[in-house]
Structure 1
Amino acid sequence: MTGREPDTEREPGTGRLALPGVLTAGQAARTAAAIAGLQRADGAIPWFRGHHLDPWDHIEAAMALDAAGEHGRAAAAYDWLARHQLPDGSWYAGYADGDAARPTDRGKETNFCAYVAVGVLHHYLATGDEEFRDRMWPVVYAAVEFVLALQHPGGAIGWRRDADGTPAAGALLTGCSSIHQALRCALALAERREDPQPDWELATGRLGHALRHHPAHFLDKSAYSMDWYYPVLAGALRGPRALAHLDARWAEFVVDGLGVRCVSTNPWVTGGESAELALALWAAGDSERAARVLRWIGHLRAPDGLYWTGYVYADRTIWPRERTAWTAGSVLLAVAALTGEPATEAVFGGAGLPRGLESGECCERA
């Protein structure tokens, strides 16, 4: 990369996102502006213009906008989801450039659909907008019901319903960890509405138990770093157990000074996985290592404030040649957590989120 990034004038929404050695307030503002620049007029946020939109990454980018104080843009992203939710409560897995009339993948992925609960709670906590919360509640409710219809007897949740309606046979540890976080956020929204959802509490408890105690319930994707850190990031593991879990495979996935491998066997570090690991470390109580990982991926930052997806260190090559809204969003969210932004702390720290029903009887039946 060449050229020097200008240090954009400090803006009120991003002043709190300054983290020494990672981002200045001006750089955070530039990143937020770059994400906003990828958003379509209808609120959709594709990976980058001309590429596809998937609901999970669209929400990740919207949360980053909220963390940066761009609440109107974030609300527009959630309104896009509300307008284009399918009758069964789902969304398609992909849309060409965020155009709802042009789905690229008519399958429906459960973790993509569940994540709306995380985003809606995050926006509500960031803004206090009760009208938004109430308007989006039917969207969250329908999405959760779609997801829980694919829960297996052992607690895991099938990762996808194919375009012909057939449920995929397997469950993914990363996806189910994300769903577990989403269910806890959905329960928090239900509490605020005084609208108890006992079936969701049972489902959340069963899923959490499966994540913590039954790895055999999930497809083997252990070569991927996400399967390593996501149970911590999404709150299924906390405390000393979470740190021990991260330490156990640290050398396998982490490349000092560069970032986190996406796949343990490949000489490729990626910005999104590195930022998510930083968020997991913060959630586990290790802010020092979290900040260190975020400093490492400064080499992926482009002058426009976005981040390159990854770097093949064996070849000293940026690859692929793309800068995505969700990679930049994951960096802003990790910085927001480390600098104490309250909404981001709440949804990723999870201390105040309901845990679901964790009775011994429920767990033994799982």
Structure 2
Amino acid sequence: MPPEEITPPRVDGVVTADEVRATAAGIAEWQLPNGMIPWFPGGHADAWNHTEAAMALARTGFVAEAERAYEWLRSTQRPDGAWHQYYLADSIEQDKLDANTCAYVAAGVLHHWLLTRDRGFLETMWEVVEPAIDFVLDLQTPRGEITWARHADGTPWSFALLTGSSSICHSLRCAVTLAEELGHERPDWELSAAQLAHVIEHEPDAFAPKHRWAMDWYYPVLAGVLTGERGREHLAARYDTFVMPERGIRCVSDRPWVTVAETCECTLAHLAVGETEKALEMFSWTRPQRTDDGRYWTGVVYPQQDTFPTGERSTYTAAAVVLAADALDGTAPTAGLFTDGASVAPLVDFDPASRDLDAEVRDPR
């Protein structure tokens, strides 16, 4: 789809297509000449949020800007396939290597392919995706979880995170889809995704306890591991813990701080399990955090209604709004990337006794 034919998403009663494009224009304005998209002017970037911002740019017609963002990823990728945790405009700010941020490039490349069908882009970025995924899978334990990160010297961290492993599971499925599109067979990736999903669903003790954080609550659903009625039950179990009605999703359960990005991601999780009305209502709660230029406050503390971090409006928050609007709008080929399971390779059942795949694909109902 050429850029001039891309119509930004809209969500009736919440945000218009012109408003969504204005939100993306704010991301484009803050993109650096080298393609990097910092969280905010003068701030740092990480590969995960940078990729999310690139998706938002492409979905609203800023395709050239999105491709500059992917070129930045290509040009900064390490020989081992990874990226450092945080980058400034002309330097590395934090040098550890986060598995989740490295894997997410696969989701971004699949999103761009679904939208543009640009074969040249796909073939070029495959050379980025393949080593990134191989780097990530070198951190998979025999049980199946993905260790959070490596130090810059290659030493792995000692624990895994549920949110990160869930996001990686989705990214692995995106990577398998890309491989299939290009005629490459990567059964090792499919096996790793199935084993990882099994651990997420059945072995919660495999992950460091982060129960205060909303992302640990909804990410197994957002990533497509917990589906259908199982996913709905999972979201309902802690809904009252994290949801501030008419406000949004608490970042952590014991603080009255809601964030727009978490609210948008949780919107996607509810949409993924068929709770469309709840998802639409949740997304509507982001509207009060929109500023006149189309950007969004990162977070707000209630009842004071103070912004937190103070005065911060972030590109990753804007990107989350665009992607949630896309899913709710439902008209673009990217709309189901996080919500319907049809855009990514399916998870298959995993037999932990034999470390093998069953023949039957999981039924998501």
**CA deviation map 1:97-156 (0-9, x unaligned):** xx2x41110000000000000000100110000110000111100000000000011100
1:53 corresponds to = 45
1:330 lines up with 2:283 in the alignment: no
Tell me the amino acid that sits aligned with residue 340 of structure 2.
Answer: G
**CA deviation map 1:209-230 (0-9, x unaligned):** 0111111101100110000000
| 1:316 Cα offset (Å) | 2.4
Distance 1:95 1:361, change over 3 A: closer
Trace 1:1-366 onto structure 2 (pairs within 5 A).
15-96=7-88, 99=89, 101-320=90-309, 321-340=311-330, 341-360=332-351
How many residues are aligned here? Answer: 353
**CA deviation map 1:328-358 (0-9, x unaligned):** 1001100101111221313543224223552
d(CA) in 1 for partners of 2:353, 2:72: 37
**1:355 partner SS:** coil
Tell me the amino acid that sits aligned with residue 59 of structure 1.
Answer: T
Task: Say whether the 8 Å CA contact 2:329–2:335 is kept in structure 1.
Answer: no
TM-score calculated relative to the size of structure 2: 0.93
**CA deviation map 1:296-347 (0-9, x unaligned):** 1211111111110111103221111110000010011001011112213135
d(CA) in 2 for partners of 1:365, 1:196: 17
Percent of residue pairs identical: 45
Task: Say whether the 8 Å CA contact 1:114–1:183 is kept in structure 2.
Answer: yes
| 1:23 Cα offset (Å) | 0.6
d(CA) in 1 for partners of 2:101, 2:50: 9
Provide the aligned C-alpha RMSD in A. 1.7
| 1:360 Cα offset (Å) | 2.7
| 1:14 Cα offset (Å) | 6.8
d(CA) in 1 for partners of 2:352, 2:205: 21
Task: Say whether the 8 Å CA contact 1:16–1:339 is kept in structure 2.
Answer: no
Tell me the amino acid that sits aligned with residue 241 of structure 1.
Answer: R
**1:220 partner SS:** coil
Task: Say whether the 8 Å CA contact 2:9–2:16 is kept in structure 1.
Answer: yes
Task: Say whether the 8 Å CA contact 2:268–2:279 is kept in structure 1.
Answer: yes
- Tell me whether 35-44 or 338-347 shows the greater mean CA deviation: 338-347
**1:358 partner SS:** strand
d(CA) in 2 for partners of 1:60, 1:312: 25
